A and B are shown apart, each in its own frame.
Chain A
Amino acid sequence: MTSSASESLRAGEPGARFAEIVYSSKTLAQFLTLLFSRPSAELVDLGPVVGANVAFISERIGCKIHVEDLYADLDRHASEGTLDRFAEFLERRLALPDGSADAVLCWDIFDYLSPAAASVLAGELKRVLRPGGSLLAFFSGGGPDDGCYTKYVIENDWRLRLRSYAAACHRERVLHNREITTLFAGLELFGSVLLKSGVREVLFCKPATA
């Protein structure tokens, strides 16, 4: 991450540490440029709903946002002891038609998925993406796992505020560059940025001829 302008502790469960970090993203600006160029765009957000993001996007374009909070689904499966069936669940989770989404915000969901679940989700995202559509995902570099998810709040085209919140799941593994490109085979790698923190931001586009 290029900067960590602020970090604060919030009251929470005993021992739980909820940090808030601000950082600059290169790929976010590109992703938004692509999104905003598509009138009546449909965006799929795999994270929890963030009011500030809805406001930010709605001020720029009249688009449709599908909130598909997979982190909440993960937590529900963890609490029910059915994480082993999460890949199967993902096969029918996204009730969106083929080629209906102009953009997908994955955030860092793939860090928390088993290889089988990651493969199913990537396939589903490729299915719902419209030709010319874009997909943004972040992958951890293997830093400490403090049992938190991150809520990504868009502050402007380049800056994200990261808010941690309690999670029932831990990061599964570090995905390397080759694994990421294999996972999204069929999409064009538009941009891949490795931050000094080890986090990799990856922006894919679905070829217009696909």
Chain B
Amino acid sequence: MHEEPASIGKSIVINGELSGSEDLTIEGRVDGKIELRNHVLTIGANGRITAQVAAKAIVVLGHVKGNLSATEKVDIRESGSVEGDIVAPRVAIADGSHFRGSIDMQRTEPPVPRDGTAAASERDARAALTGDLIRV
């Protein structure tokens, strides 16, 4: 039997901690903390969240005030609004959406030593300043 995805309706207000082990759509209001570590959280167009959010993937169509952390992806759609810091390996932000904060996309591979690479790149960048434009 096909299970209906879990959802929190428009008129529902939750103050506190919300966690679970299935995908969830929020159309109501949540103030506090949300954890869906291995699942997808969708904040619907009517959703109003003031919370720290952690999930596998987060899709935002409504409003979020708080930090978002995803192990896979954060996706802010056109109607979405986020004020907070995002940590995720992949972040998609649609034109027309609102965002204020920082976006931290972690590296999975080990970092390259800074000094040698930076110096070489600076030389490359300096060497690249040629062309048909007027240089002053």
Contacts and interface: CB of A to CB of B under 8 A. Distances in A.
Nearest to B76: A51
Contact of B121 (A36, A193, A200): A36
A69 B101 CA distance: 9
Nearest to B130: A26
Nearest to A68: B100
Interface in A183-210: 190-196, 200, 205
Interface string A50-64: 110011001001111
Report whether over half of chain B's contact residues are helix, strand or loop; otherwise say mixed.
Answer: mixed
A63 B105 contact: yes
B12 interface: no
A30 B107 contact: no
Contacts of A193: 129, 133-136
A33 B91 contact: no
Contact of B93 (A37, A51, A62): A51
B104 interface: yes
Nearest to A66: B102
B5 interface: no
Contacts of B118: 34, 37-38, 132
Contact of B122 (A34, A195, A200): A34
Interface residues of B, number: 38
B128 A54 contact: no
Given A37-B117, A39-B114, A65 B103 contact: yes
Nearest to B118: A37
User: Could you say which interface size class chain A belongs to?
Assistant: 35 or more
Contacts of B131: 26
A29 interface: yes
Given A26-B129, A177-B136, A193-B135, A33 B105 contact: no
Interface of B: 76, 89-95, 97, 99-108, 111-112, 114, 117-118, 120-122, 124-126, 128-129, 131-136
25 contacts: A29-B125, A29-B128, A30-B126, A30-B128, A31-B125, A34-B118, A36-B121, A37-B118, A37-B120, A37-B121, A37-B122, A51-B95, A54-B93, A58-B90, A62-B106, A64-B103, A64-B104, A64-B105, A65-B104, A67-B100, A190-B126, A191-B135, A192-B136, A194-B134, A195-B133
Given A36-B121, A39-B112, A192-B136, 18 more contacts: A2-B132, A26-B131, A34-B121, A37-B122, A49-B97, A50-B95, A54-B92, A54-B103, A63-B105, A64-B105, A67-B100, A69-B100, A132-B118, A191-B129, A191-B135, A193-B129, A196-B133, A200-B136
